[in-house]
Amino acid sequence: MDLPDEQLPHLGTFSKAAELSGFTAAAKALGLTQAAVSQRIQTLEKSLDTSLFDRRGGRVLLTDAGRTLYAYAQRIADLHHEARREVTGRDAPVAGELVIAASSVPGEHLLPALLAAFGHQHPHVRVRAGVGDSVAVMAQVERGEVGVGLVGRKSNDPNLVFRFLAADHMVLVTPPGHALGRKKKVTVDQLAAHPLIVREAGSGSRHCFEKSLERAGRSMTELRVALELGSNEAIKGAVLRGVGVAVLSNLALQKEIKAGTLHVLEVEDIRCDREMFVVRDRRRVPSLPTRLFLNFLEANPAPHLNP
């Protein structure tokens, strides 16, 4: 078969810029100057007589033509790997960096096991992970700072795509010997008589609790919020020290429940069940490590991830 004399130039550079949504980031990843990356992209655009990136505000996003070309570039890369495997009889190890962010509950109680299993399958992929609240994680995904996020709530941002990861249930937790500790269920009115420790605004746990109160015709203003903290571990420590009671994720309490160090009960006139999600930006093309991680999550359903 004859191949054309003029090949599409610099597809690798184009793919890296598409995955990182920036020429500067692509240059750093490829060990080039930003000017060299820009020149390569311009050469490719000139050969195709079309614009591949929408350049605005220091960021670059693929045009419709760019998304079409990226799909072909990935097919070419896949054929390249397939050819090497067939000729050499072995797979080339997948390398690169997976950049991920997660909110507190999935980040602290699901992500470690997920990354351990993923790392066993792909030992050459470097992982850089951070933990924040759900709103902050979604903002990082939307800005292209991370390839994928794990969050405890959804947003209305049209650029973000959410996929179910796991289910969670919020419970009331008290220290041993507390006045509520002899009960299995309490009402909101009974809860209102005690100091309450809550997560910060923006967290999925706080959002779930506030929404469950609203559905019951109640409000956070009816409760005695004594302290607002930015982590589940800090809240559990404050509960143990008698600062107040708290509504926390059941997933975040497994160790304390088994050890009997905290008492768990239900608030009977509200129910706070929630879902956790994998989130990505539909405008951005995922890098190969990100695609592998997304495929890994899809192949490992949530029931097998929960403690």
Where in the sequence is the domain holding 38, given as residue range(s)?
A: 11-88
Q: Are residues 112 and 159 in the same domain?
A: yes
Do the bridges between strand 245-249 and strand 195-199 make them parallel or antiparallel, or are there none, so unpaired?
A: parallel
Q: Are residues 60 and 99 in the same domain?
A: no
pTM higher than 0.85? no
- Of 70, 88, 106, which residue constitutes the final position of a domain? 88
Low-confidence ranges of the chain (pLDDT < 70): 1-7, 57-58, 92, 301-307
Q: Are residues 256 and 121 in the same domain?
A: yes
Q: How many angstroms separate the CA atoms of 135 and 139, rounded?
A: 6
305 contacts 167 by C-beta, under 8 angstroms: no
**Res 283: pLDDT:** 86
Q: Are residues 61 and 194 in the same domain?
A: no
**Res 19: pLDDT:** 85
Q: Are residues 159 and 80 in the same domain?
A: no
Helix H, strand E, coil C: the string for 127-170 is: EEEEEECHHHHHHHHHHCCCCEEEECCCCCCCCEEEEEEEEEEE
- Of 88, 107, 134, which residue constitutes the final position of a domain? 88
Q: Are residues 164 and 249 in the same domain?
A: yes
Q: How many angstroms separate the CA atoms of 59 and 211, rounded?
A: 36
**Res 58: pLDDT:** 66
Q: What is the DSSP letter of 2?
A: P
Beta bridge partners of 196: 225, 245
